[in-house]
Amino acid sequence: MKEDSCECQDSVFSGAIKTYAEAGMLNEAISLFRNLHQFNCVNWTASFNTILQIMVNESKLESAHRLFLENFSRWEVKSRTHSISWLIDVLCQKKRSDLALEIFQEMNNCYCYPTRDTYRVLMKGLCEDGRINEAIHLLYSMFWRISRKGSGEDVLIYRILLDTLCAYGHVEEAADILNKVLRKGLKSPKRKRMQLDFNRCRNGRDIESAKSLISESLIKGVIPSYDSYNSMAVELYSEGNLNGADKVLQEMHDQGFRPMALIYEAKVIALCRKGLIDEAEKVISKEMVEANCVPTVGIYNSVIKGLCSDKRSTEALGYLKKMSRQLGCVPNKETYSILVDGLCEDGSYIEASQVMEKMLVNSYWPNTDTFGTVIKGLCLMRRPYEAIIWLEEMVSQEKMPELSVWISLVGSVVYDTIDVEVLSEIIKW
C-alpha cells in the first residue's frame, strides 16, 4: 500500500487499528497511526477517533492527551468539533477535567467553537473535581460566546456552578455570581430579577434552601421560553428532584406554555426510579390527558419497565394493548424485550412466550439470553414441545443455546417418563 500511488481509505486503517488493539497490540496500533503520513491517505478522521477511544479505554489518558494535541490541528483530521467534544466528555467522566480543560482551550487554535453541550459537560466535570476557580472562569467565558443573546437553555450550565458553590458553603459568592448571571448571561430585565434572602443560608446553613432559591431565581429571571422551562424541568427530574421539577412545570403552565412529552417522560422515569409506580401511571392517565399531550412509546416503555421491576408484569401487559389502540404508537423492540424479561422474572413463562410471538411477527429478534430464559421456563412448566419450537427458531437465527438450556430441555422430557420422539429431536441439535 505504501508503494502504490492510489488513495488509501481511512476505514482500512481504522479497522487495522481496532484489530491490533483487540489482539493486545496497542503499541502496534499507535505506531500504525503515527505512520499514516507514509500512506496516500487524505482523511484520518476515523483512525484518529478510533485510536483515541482505544487509548482512553485502556486508561492511557496522558498519552491520549498528547496524541490529541499533536494531531488534532492536522488538515487530514476533519470534523474536529465532534472529536473534541467526545474527548472532553470522556476525560471528565474519568475525573481528569484538568486535561479536558486544556483541550477546550485549544479549540480556538483549530477554528472550532464549543457548543452549549460542551460547556455543560466541562462545567460539570470541573465542579465534580472541585476546580471551582476554573469553573467560574468558564462561566464568564460563556457570557461573550454562547450566552450573548441570553438563551434560557443556559440555565442548566449556570445552575451546576451555583449549586456547587452552595455545596462548598460559598453562598455569598453564589449570590454574587447569580446576579451577574441574571444581568449578563440571561439578559434578565430588572423587573424579573428576584431579590433573594440568603441570610438563613449563610455560613453553610440550610444549603438545600439556597439551591432551591437559586433554581427559582434562574427559572423566573430568564425570559420565558419553552426551551428554558423544558431544560430545567428535565434536568431536575433526572436528578430526582420531583418537588423542584413540579414547581417548574407549574410555572410553565402559569406562563402559558404547554409541556411536551419529553418532560412527562422525564417525570415518569423519575417516579419509577423512586418506586412510585402508581404515581407514574397517573401521569399518563390524568396529567397528560389534562394537558392534551399524547403519550409516546418512550413514556409507555418507562411505565412498563417500572411495573416489571415492581413484579407487576401482568399489569404491564395492559399497556401493550393500549399502545396498539393508540394511533401512531407502535411498540418497539425495547417494549417487547422489557415485557418478556419481566414476565419471565415473575414466572409467567407462557405469557412471555406469547409476547415473544408478537415480537417476531413485528420483525424484532430476541437476543440469546431471552430465548434461553423462555425455553428454560417452558421446560419448568412441562411444555417441552413449545420449548422445542423456540429452540428451532433460535437456531434458525444462528443463535447458539447455552449448556443450561440443553440440560433443561433434556431434563423436561426424561422427567417421570421418557418421550422418545421429543428427546430424539433434541439429540439432533
**Would residue 98 count as lying in a domain?**
yes
> What would the mean pLDDT of 159-187 be, rounded to a whole number?
82
**Would residue 249 count as lying in a domain?**
no
Judged by average pLDDT, the poorest of 39-43, 129-133, 378-382 is: 39-43
Residue pair 207/170 in contact by the 8 Å Cβ criterion: no
> What would the mean pLDDT of 358-373 be, rounded to a whole number?
90
Cell of 118: 460542551
Q: How far apart, in whole angstroms, are the C-alpha atoms of residue 218 and residue 182?
A: 7
pLDDT for position 268? 93
Task: Read off the pLDDT band of 423 (50, 70, 90).
Answer: low
**Would residue 245 count as lying in a domain?**
no
Residue 194 reports pLDDT greater than 60: no
Q: How many residues does the chain have?
A: 429
Phi/psi-derived region of residue 415, left when phi > 0, alpha when psi is between -120 and 50, beta in every other case: beta
Same-domain pairing of 349 and 408: no
Residue 274 reports pLDDT greater than 80: yes
Same-domain pairing of 31 and 93: yes
Same-domain pairing of 202 and 303: no
Same-domain pairing of 136 and 72: no
**Would residue 81 count as lying in a domain?**
yes
Share of the chain above pLDDT 90, in %: 23
* CATH label of the domain that carries residue 50: 1.25.40.10
Residue 214 reports pLDDT greater than 80: no
pLDDT, tens digit (0-9, with 9 covering 90-100), for 292-306: 888 999 999 999 999
pLDDT for position 358? 92
Q: Residues 6 or more apart from 407 whose CB is under 8 A from it?
A: none
CB count in 10 Å sphere of residue 380: 14
Listed residue (176, 86, 96, 87) closest to 128, CA to CA: 96
Residue 75 reports pLDDT greater than 80: no
pLDDT for position 42? 76
> What would the mean pLDDT of 220-241 be, rounded to a whole number?
79
Same-domain pairing of 323 and 353: yes
pLDDT, tens digit (0-9, with 9 covering 90-100), for 33-70: 888 888 877 777 888 888 888 888 888 888 888 888 88
Listed residue (306, 301, 257, 260) closest to 279, CA to CA: 306
Element (H, E) at 371: helix 368-380
pLDDT for position 128? 93
Q: How far apart, in whole angstroms, are the C-alpha atoms of residue 352 and residue 232?
A: 39
The domain in which residue 33 lies consists of 1-108
> What would the mean pLDDT of 210-232 be, rounded to a whole number?
74
Q: Which of 203, 223, 243 is the last residue of a domain?
A: 223
Same-domain pairing of 422 and 392: yes
pLDDT for position 199? 57
Q: Residues 6 or more apart from 355 whose CB is under 8 A from it?
A: 317, 320, 336, 339, 340, 343
Same-domain pairing of 12 and 77: yes
CB count in 10 Å sphere of residue 131: 17
**Would residue 22 count as lying in a domain?**
yes
**Would residue 269 count as lying in a domain?**
no
Q: Which of 339, 364, 389 is the last residue of a domain?
A: 364
Same-domain pairing of 102 and 132: no
pLDDT for position 49? 85
What is the pLDDT of the chain when averaged over all its residues?
Answer: 82
pLDDT for position 229? 82
pLDDT for position 416? 46
DSSP 112-172: ----HHHHHHHHHHHHHTT-HHHHHHHHHHHHTTTTTT--GGGHHHHHHHHHHHHHTT-HH
| CA 406 centroid distance within chain | 36
**Would residue 331 count as lying in a domain?**
yes
- CA atoms within a 13 Å half-sphere pointing along the CA-CB vector of 115: 12
Same-domain pairing of 55 and 90: yes
Highest mean predicted confidence (pLDDT) among 73-77, 164-168, 357-361: 357-361
Same-domain pairing of 55 and 152: no
* Of 146 and 118, more confident: 118
Cell of 50: 478510533
- Burial of residue 165 (CB within 10 Å: 0-12, 13-18, 19+) is buried
Residue 317 reports pLDDT greater than 70: yes
Q: Is 69 helix (H, G, I), strand (E, B) or coil?
A: helix
pLDDT for position 301? 93
Same-domain pairing of 46 and 139: no
> What would the mean pLDDT of 324-346 be, rounded to a whole number?
90
Cα dihedral sign, 112-229-139-66: negative
pLDDT for position 349? 92
Q: How many domains does the chain have?
A: 4
Listed residue (48, 130, 120) closest to 82, CA to CA: 48
**Would residue 59 count as lying in a domain?**
yes
Listed residue (78, 46, 83) closest to 68, CA to CA: 83
Q: Residues 6 or more apart from 24 whose CB is under 8 A from it?
A: none
Q: Which of 311, 331, 364 is the last residue of a domain?
A: 364
pLDDT for position 421? 56
Same-domain pairing of 154 and 99: no
Q: Where are the alpha helices (DSSP H) in 310-348?
A: 313-325, 333-345
